[in-house]
């Protein structure tokens, strides 16, 4: 069985829904209009867990892979919810380092009546007071793939350590870099050498390589990595493994309830199939189905597909890349 280790922050996401979160109320933007001292009724509360690494670990587990999670968690209620969710999903949490002065992230997400959201976010503390992690990165050697993401402050040196450890043990790496990593362009590009699959959205790929269209971006990314995937929300996705290029449209035009976790479901959906030897095309179809399902439910995990879910056809084209010369 394929073994995948997800590494990175966990969070508790508390979703609040209320008719009061109406962006058009009294012709004002709702969130400039929460008067001091106000007590506002909220109709609907959903307690979910998030954090990119915990979300992707759940896709891998639901797809029947051996899924494990590595990070620092505290003893706070958010950390306990994260552990409990992962345990319930059958994710191996034995590599988690738990300490009292660690704290998981906590977000309050106000979902407006039009589906937009405003997030109040506490980042958490995964390294304690020393500011230095004490994870045992040697465990990476026990896995076929790793998926590091959202490594918090100072994430890039840690990402470097993780990717180096993977290279040392011949472990494959999928990367879906987050904001702090993308902010350090040169260092991030320097470590792409050790990355096997790079998956980002269009704006993020534009921060890494030049190009206007998803196709140009994916092809340019091939100069750094063997497999490149560029997603563009409801506009679809382009993926290439250097042999063929796949362009896919929207899997299904669904009502979007909450788009939290779309990118995670897409990237992890891809890897859950690709790591099992499925084709580029099959992996993109599943990635699209998984992310489309996630945006129809509140929270990043609820819509993640289980093994043997029935998939349907989608607009997708594949063509060979043989005429392309490396730039």
Q: Which residues contact ligand ATP (rule: CB under 6 A)?
A: 201, 231-234, 237, 250-251, 254, 256, 259, 261-263, 266, 288, 291-292, 295
Min. distance of Cβ 323 from ligand ATP in angstroms?
A: 27
Min. distance of Cβ 204 from ligand ATP in angstroms?
A: 7
- Residue whose CB is less far from Mg ion, 135 or 251: 251
Encoded tokens for 2? 């394929």
Q: Closest CB to ligand ATP belongs to which residue?
A: 263
* 69 bridge partner residues: 6
Q: Does 194 bind Mg ion (CB under 5 A)?
A: no
Cα radius of gyration (the chain) = 20
CA distance 327 to 106: 44
Determine phi and psi for 275, rounding to 5 degrees.
-65, -20
Q: How far is CA 8 from CA 23, 193, 221, 229, in A?
A: 33, 21, 24, 21
Q: Closest CB to Mg ion belongs to which residue?
A: 263
- Selected range binding Mg ion among 57-65, 107-115, 136-144, 261-269, rule: CB under 5 A: 261-269
Among ligand ATP, Mg ion, none, what binds residue 288 when CB lies within 5 to 8 Å by partner kind? ligand ATP
Task: Report the residue from 50, 152, 263, 303 that binds Mg ion according to the rule CB under 5 A.
Answer: 263
Angle separating helix axes 52-62 and 77-88, nearest 10 degrees: 20
Q: Which residues contact 163 (CB under 8 A, 6 or more apart)?
A: 148, 173, 191, 194, 195
CA distance 205 to 193: 16
Min. distance of Cβ 270 from ligand ATP in angstroms?
A: 10
Among ligand ATP, Mg ion, none, what binds residue 291 when CB lies within 5 to 8 Å by partner kind? ligand ATP
- Residue whose CB is less far from Mg ion, 150 or 240: 150
For residue 165, how many C-alpha atoms fall within 13 Å in the half-sphere facing its CB? Answer: 22
Among Mg ion, ligand ATP, none, what binds residue 231 when CB lies within 5 to 8 Å by partner kind? ligand ATP
Q: Which residues contact 145 (CB under 8 A, 6 or more apart)?
A: 2, 3, 4, 5, 171, 172, 173, 174, 196, 271, 275
Among Mg ion, ligand ATP, none, what binds residue 4 when CB lies within 5 to 8 Å by partner kind? none
Pairing of strands 44-50, 11-17: antiparallel
Among ligand ATP, Mg ion, none, what binds residue 123 when CB lies within 5 to 8 Å by partner kind? none
- Residue whose CB is less far from Mg ion, 72 or 263: 263
Q: Which residues contact 5 (CB under 8 A, 6 or more apart)?
A: 68, 69, 70, 95, 139, 140, 142, 143, 145, 146, 147
Among Mg ion, ligand ATP, none, what binds residue 128 when CB lies within 5 to 8 Å by partner kind? none
Min. distance of Cβ 151 from Mg ion in angstroms?
A: 15
Among ligand ATP, Mg ion, none, what binds residue 266 when CB lies within 5 to 8 Å by partner kind? ligand ATP
Min. distance of Cβ 264 from ligand ATP in angstroms?
A: 6
> For binding to Mg ion (CB under 5 A), which residues are involved?
263
């Amino acid at each position: 069985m394929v073994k995948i280790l997800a590494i990175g922050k966990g969070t508790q996401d508390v979703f609040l829904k209320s008719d009061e979160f109406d962006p058009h109320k009294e012709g004002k933007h709702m969130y400039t209009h929460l008067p001091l001292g106000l007590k506002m009724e909220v109709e609907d509360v959903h307690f979910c867990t998030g954090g990119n690494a915990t979300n992707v670990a759940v896709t891998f587990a639901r797809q029947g892979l051996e899924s494990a999670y590595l990070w620092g968690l505290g003893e706070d209620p958010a950390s306990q919810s994260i552990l409990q969710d992962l345990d319930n999903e059958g994710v191996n949490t034995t590599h988690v380092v738990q300490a009292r002065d660690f704290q998981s992230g906590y977000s309050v997400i106000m979902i407006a009546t039009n589906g937009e959201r405003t997030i109040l976010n506490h980042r958490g503390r995964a390294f304690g007071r020393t500011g230095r992690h004490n994870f045992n990165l040697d465990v990476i050697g026990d896995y076929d793939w790793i998926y590091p993401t959202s490594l918090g402050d100072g994430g890039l040196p840690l990402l470097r350590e993780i990717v180096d450890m993977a290279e040392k043990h011949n472990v494959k790496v999928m990367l879906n870099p987050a904001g702090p990593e993308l902010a350090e362009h040169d260092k991030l590009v320097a470590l792409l050498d050790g990355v096997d699959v790079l998956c980002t959205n269009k704006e993020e790929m534009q921060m890494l390589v030049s190009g206007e269209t998803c196709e140009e971006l994916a092809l340019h990314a091939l100069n750094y990595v063997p497999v490149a995937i560029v997603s563009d929300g409801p506009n679809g996705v382009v993926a290439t493994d250097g042999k063929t290029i796949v362009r896919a449209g929207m899997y299904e035009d669904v009502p979007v309830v909450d788009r939290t976790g779309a990118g995670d479901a897409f990237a992890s959906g891809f890897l859950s199939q690709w790591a099992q030897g499925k084709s580029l095309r099959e992996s993109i179809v599943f990635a699209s189905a998984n992310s489309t399902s996630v945006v129809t439910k509140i929270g990043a995990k609820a819509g993640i597909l289980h093994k043997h879910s029935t998939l349907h056809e989608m607009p997708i084209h594949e063509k060979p890349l043989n005429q392309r010369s490396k730039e």
